Amino acid sequence: MQMKRRNFFKLFAGGASVVLLPQVIEFAKAAEDFIKGPPVKDHPAKQLSKHVWMIYSPDGFPTAENQGMMANITFATTKKGIVILDSGASVQIGEMAIRMIKKVSNQPVIAIFNSHYHGDHFLGNQAFVEAYGKNIPIYAHSYTLEQIKGIEGNTWRNLMERWTNQATAGTIVFPPTHAVKNGDVFDYGDVHIKVHHYGIAHTPGDICMEVIEDKVTQVGDIAMDGRIANIDDGSYLGTFKTYKEITQAAGDQLWIPGHGNPKKTLLNEYGEFLAGIYESCVQAVKDGKDPSQAKAMVLKDPRVIKYAKNTKGFETNIGKYTSLAYLEAEKEAF
């Protein structure tokens, strides 16, 4: 259970109204920082379009040094208020995001969208609920909602604490409250946000959020820039299908990834990289080669070579992601 500063004061004062020594106050604050991780340094918001801003995360993976700041936080300014598109990996990151939002707008946060159930995209919900009220709607795909309400919510909270050496301690899981589906459109006055979901991609419950007026779409982790994506819960073929469907539905967009820089060419570039992995494995299966031989083929594919050197986590993850591609290709072949 999280213990707040006022509880420390009561503890050391024995519940009585007494004047605490400076040493006691200093100890209480230090103890609170141990129970609740320290604040995250400011990461200024960058304006991407008329209504859309992004708080960029320079790191791709959580560490004690970056305190879990590994995923971008996107928000849209509207006549009705601020809409959050992924809230970050901890309450501390969410609190930092609120500080940055207040530098560009005095409007309250009125809604949150969570793109999927990996913790770096929803664990910041707490900060916004505590700051703007328990009735703030949190939207996600029904699959994502159920996963966060179930075992995945606390699993990701515990993982983030471990990976950051407790820097995210004090974070409480606030799951989504409203399920959304493909084609849902939310009216915020001068801004409309459309939900896209085309089946399994990075996970079975990915949603992408299109800010219609700005031709900007936040795609969560279905595509990344400069980082290899976790596809343990996903599908290569499902990802390719999603790219095709969302491109046909939305047209040209500035695509905002959960990790990396926004690009109009993002889906084409990341799709080319994934195709190099998957199609090499398809050929390996056809040729009767085993997974180790498939990996050798992947590493020789020019599409993979093109992106490998600038992709964080490539060396440590390409073996696993080749295995996943091989298994999917093998399943499709039989």
Q: pLDDT at position 26, please? A: 58
Q: Are residues 199 and 254 in the same domain?
A: yes
Q: Are residues 127 and 250 in the same domain?
A: yes
pLDDT mean over 232-251:
97
CATH number of the domain where residue 165 is located: 3.60.15.10
Q: Which residues have CB under 8 Å from 51's CB, separation 6+?
A: 76, 77, 78, 190, 191, 211, 213, 214
Asked if residue 273 has pLDDT above 50, the reply is yes
23 confidence band (pLDDT: 50, 70, 90): low
Number of domains comprising the chain: 3
**CA-to-CA separations, 125 to 20, 103, 120, 204, 325, in angstroms, rounded:** 34, 20, 10, 21, 33
Q: Are residues 252 and 288 in the same domain?
A: no
Q: Are residues 165 and 18 in the same domain?
A: no
Q: Are residues 25 and 64 in the same domain?
A: no
Cβ atoms 328, 278 nearer than 8 A: yes
Asked if residue 122 has pLDDT above 80, the reply is yes
Separation between Cα atoms, residue 118 and residue 151, nearest integer Å: 12
Separation between Cα atoms, residue 273 and residue 307, nearest integer Å: 7
2 confidence band (pLDDT: 50, 70, 90): very low
In a domain, 246, yes or no: yes
Cβ atoms 194, 185 nearer than 8 A: yes
Q: Are residues 19 and 101 in the same domain?
A: no
Q: Are residues 24 and 70 in the same domain?
A: no
In a domain, 28, yes or no: yes
Separation between Cα atoms, residue 325 and residue 331, nearest integer Å: 10
pLDDT tens digits, one per residue of 36-49: 999 999 999 999 99
Separation between Cα atoms, residue 145 and residue 143, nearest integer Å: 5
In a domain, 297, yes or no: yes
**CA-to-CA separations, 64 to 56, 155, 161, 173, in angstroms, rounded:** 18, 18, 9, 20
Q: pLDDT at position 4, please? A: 44
CA 298, 301, 304, 310 dihedral sign is: positive
Q: Which residues have CB under 8 Å from 200's CB, separation 6+?
A: 206, 234, 235, 238
Q: Are residues 272 and 148 in the same domain?
A: no
Partner residues linked to 112 by β-bridges:
84, 138
Cα angle value 50/55/57 (rounded, 5°): 140
In a domain, 78, yes or no: yes
Asked if residue 6 has pLDDT above 80, the reply is no
pLDDT mean over 304-326:
94
Q: pLDDT at position 30, please? A: 52
Percentage of the residues of the chain whose pLDDT score is greater than 70: 90
Average pLDDT, the chain: 92
Q: Are residues 314 and 229 in the same domain?
A: no
Q: Which domain holds residue 200?
A: 45-264
Indicate the pTM of the whole model: 0.89
pLDDT mean over 139-167:
97
pLDDT mean over 60-80:
96
At position 190, the amino acid (one-letter code) is D
Separation between Cα atoms, residue 313 and residue 304, nearest integer Å: 13
Q: Are residues 155 and 53 in the same domain?
A: yes
Domain ends where: 230, 247, 264? 264
Q: pLDDT at position 12, please? A: 41
Q: pLDDT at position 22, please? A: 62
DSSP strands (E only) in the chain:
45-47, 52-55, 73-78, 81-85, 109-113, 138-141, 178-180, 185-187, 192-196, 208-211, 216-218, 254-256
Cβ atoms 98, 112 nearer than 8 A: no
Number of Cβ atoms within 10 Å of the Cβ of 194: 17
Pick from 40, 110, 117, 41: which is nearest to 75 by CA?
Answer: 110
Q: Are residues 239 and 107 in the same domain?
A: yes
Q: Which residues have CB under 8 Å from 312's CB, separation 6+?
A: 60, 61, 226, 227, 228
Asked if residue 324 has pLDDT above 80, the reply is yes
Asked if residue 31 has pLDDT above 60, the reply is no
pLDDT mean over 223-230:
90
Q: Are residues 62 and 24 in the same domain?
A: no
Q: What is the CA radius of gyration of the chain?
A: 22
In a domain, 40, yes or no: no
304 confidence band (pLDDT: 50, 70, 90): very high
Measured torsion, CA atoms of residues 84, 88, 93, 95, in degrees rounded to the nearest 10: 30
